[in-house]
Copies of this chain bind each other. A is one copy, B any other.
Amino acid sequence: MISSKNDKNTRTTGRPTLNEVARLAGVSPITASRALRGVSTVATELVEKVQKAALDLNYVVNPAARALASAQSHSVVVLVPSLSNLLFIDTLEAIHQVLRPKGFEVLIGNFHYSRDEEENLLRNYMAYQPRGLLLTGFDRTESSRRMIEASNIPCVYMMELDSAAGLNCVGFSQLAAGETAAGHLLSRGRKRLAYIGAQLDQRTLLRGEGFRKALQKAGLYDPDLEVLTPRSSSVGLGGELFLQLLATHPDVDAIFFGNDDLAQGALLEAMRCGIKIPEQVAILGFNDLPASAHMVPRLSSISTPREAIGRRAAEQMLTLMAGNTVAKPVQDMGFELKVREST
């Protein structure tokens, strides 16, 4: 019944199959499969023969067939809240760099800082039976959480640590970053410190919280100087909020911005209006985006290890996907205060 299948069946892909490789190498298909996957129980000599045959035929596995037979895909889903500020690009790049060489396909989803959209993406991407999930932060819908739980797919959380309870996560303490920001501005002798944050994602809020706590401790907290808006972070918005704040509170002498683009916008508006930075107002940014060091004056900022987080998270994911547990599931990658001219 197997005999001759020499007719031109249009259902095939036309590409060489593992069977042909095996035939050419003079081994059974299953041995060829094992040889190419690097399963240990194949003699070195045979492995070489198979590899040569595969090369000769220009063979590449059919991922669909592999996924079907093994009930496992080779894809890892990464969900990020935004691509349009450069924050997550570095992280994504690093993830690619680690995962691609190991044969994993990276599926990127952008949920635009929307919990519902994240849930949607999650639901959609679950269909691909991903081997792993790389998620941003801990703030998500209950359904999302249940879906992740129920799926039993290894999951690494990126960017935050503050609410890591027995989860695998790689990031830094957003709270501590906020405290550091406050500490730095206080050390400059400032008394009227404001926080301006946009997007209002969990991380922005946590940074604000850290900032607030530090100010409370110093007895300098004023809720009026906390400007939060759900609008999305941008240079234009930064300038706008900066001017608004100064108009209503002319005595403000330091501002911590939740993201560098906001701070950059503030610097530009300050220049336009002749407001002296840092003499009148000290300005501190967050994330240390590439342009920040070139602003006038050069923007002080808290530099975040975005690339390192991506790399480490991907490495952790590899460990988890191999069925091992991670020795140190919570990885604090820290952050670094870059003091420049604006403070």
Chain A interface residues toward B at CB < 8 A: 11-13, 15, 60-68, 71, 73, 83-84, 86, 89-90, 92-93, 96, 100, 105-108, 110, 124, 126-129, 234-236, 239, 261, 264-265, 268-269, 271-272, 290-291, 293-296
Cα–Cα, bound, A59→B89 (Å): 33
A60 to B61, CA, bound (A): 25
- Report the bound CA distance from A84 to B290 in whole Å: 10
Choice from B15, B63, B83, B129 contacting A89 with Cβ under 8 Å: B83
Q: By DSSP majority rule, is chain A's interface helix, strand, loop, or mixed?
A: helix
Inter-subunit contact A11/B110 (CB<8 Å): no
Our pick among B15, B86, B89, B268 for the contact of A294 (Cβ within 8 Å) is B268
A106–B110 alpha-carbon span in the complex (Å) = 12
**A107 contacts across to B, CB distance below 8 A:** 105, 107
Query: Which chain B residue lies CB-closest to A239?
Result: B294
Copies of this protein in the complex: 2
Contact B290 A234 (CB under 8 A): yes
Closest to A107 in B: B105
Given contacts A62-B68, A107-B105, A296-B271, contact A291 B127 (CB under 8 A): no
Closest approach, in angstroms, between the C-beta of A318 and any C-beta of chain B? 18
State whether A61 touches B261 (Cβ < 8 A). no
Report how far A60 CA is from B129 CA in the complex, Å.
Answer: 10
For the complex, give the distance between the alpha carbons of A73 and B67 in Å: 12
Contact of A127 among B63, B71, B106, B239 (CB under 8 A): B63
Q: In the complex the two chains form, what is the Cα distance from A105 to B68 in whole Å?
A: 17
Residues of B within 8 A of A127 (CB): 60-63
Flag if A68 contacts B71 (CB, 8 Å).
Answer: no
A68-B64, A290-B234 known; A84+B83 contact, CB < 8 A: no
Q: What 7 A-B pairs come out closest when comparing CB atoms?
A: A64-B67, A235-B291, A60-B127, A64-B68, A64-B64, A83-B89, A271-B296
**A295 and chain B: residue at smallest CB distance:** B268
Q: Kindly list chain B residues whose C-beta atoms are within 8 Å of the C-beta of A106.
A: 108
The answer to whether A64 touches B73, judged by C-beta atoms less than 8 angstroms apart, is: yes
Q: How far is the CB of A242 from chain B (nearest CB, A)?
A: 11
**Complexed CA–CA distance, A108 and B92 (Å):** 11
Complex contact A62–B293 (CB within 8 A): no
How far apart are A16's CB and chain B's nearest CB, in angstroms? 12
- Chain B residue contacts of A129, Cβ below 8 A: 13, 15, 62, 64
